[in-house]
Copies of this chain bind each other. A is one copy, B any other.
Amino acid sequence: MTASYRPLSRKDIRRENEKLILEAAEKVFAEAGFGGATMQLIADMAGLPKANLHYYFPTKESLYRQVVQAIFLDWLKAADIFDAAPGPVEGLGAYIDAKMEISRRHPAGSKVWASEVMHRAPVIQDYLETTLMEWTEGRMDVIRRWIAEGKMDPVDPRHLLYMLWATTQHYADFGHQIETLNGGRPMSDAQWVAAKESVKSIILKGIGARPSPDG
């Protein structure tokens, strides 16, 4: 493999350092909360002097805001699968799988979001009122359509969505409790498979989801 040794441009340096800082910040904010996190700890974890953080992100809050925004966008993307599906078995099943996988691979992000919402969303309230509201209304329409088409029981679509969010995110947000109850060991691959199957099985049966005719 031949690599080009073009020196890093200012833009490259900026992008790389911002990435380092954002990754470290997500972990620290998840572990300690906004108030408990310190710029010093984030700097240490990113391997940079504290002053450099303020060079790239003017304030602690602006850094935090970018962390939360990134998480929110990831979640919205993971839900595209919802609309294209022919029915609840495929749509909700794939959505549960996708959200469980985020909880497994990206637990810190889920925790930062949970903490932000628990504290009454001081930084991203505007996202709740606009993007999340519109997304939720759209997905409730999809569920209502499935109900009208006889593909599932007439459940309240709002509380079904809450149950999906709660159940899948629980494996990230309460991962430490789950690990403790698992004898102090992280969930194994097989246990994650069992968790996904349990969640999908109970919820899909609970809403009377019927497989699509051409499934």
| Residues of A that sit less than 8 Å from B by CB | 30-37, 111, 114-115, 117-121, 125, 128-129, 132-133, 136, 155-156, 158-160, 162-163, 165-167, 169-171, 173-174, 176-178, 180-181, 194-195, 198-199, 201-208
Contacts and interface: CB of A to CB of B under 8 A. Distances in A.
Contact of A33 (B115, B170, B177): B115
Contacts of A111: 118
Contacts of A170: 162-163, 165-166
A198 B114 CA distance: 23
Contacts of A159: 194-195, 198-199, 202
Contacts of A121: 176-177, 180
Contacts of A37: 35
B120 A31 contact: yes
A194 B156 CA distance: 8
A187 to B, nearest CB: 10
A181 B159 CA distance: 12
A38 to B, nearest CB: 9
Interface residues of A, dominant DSSP? helix
A130 to B, nearest CB: 10
Given A166-B167, A203-B206, 19 more contacts: A30-B118, A31-B119, A35-B35, A35-B36, A111-B118, A114-B173, A117-B176, A117-B177, A129-B180, A133-B180, A159-B198, A159-B202, A160-B198, A160-B202, A165-B174, A166-B174, A167-B167, A202-B206, A205-B205
A147 B125 CA distance: 44
A167 B170 CA distance: 9
Contact of A119 (B33, B129, B178, B180): B33
A202 to B, nearest CB: 4
B203 A202 contact: yes
A81 to B, nearest CB: 21
B36 A173 contact: no
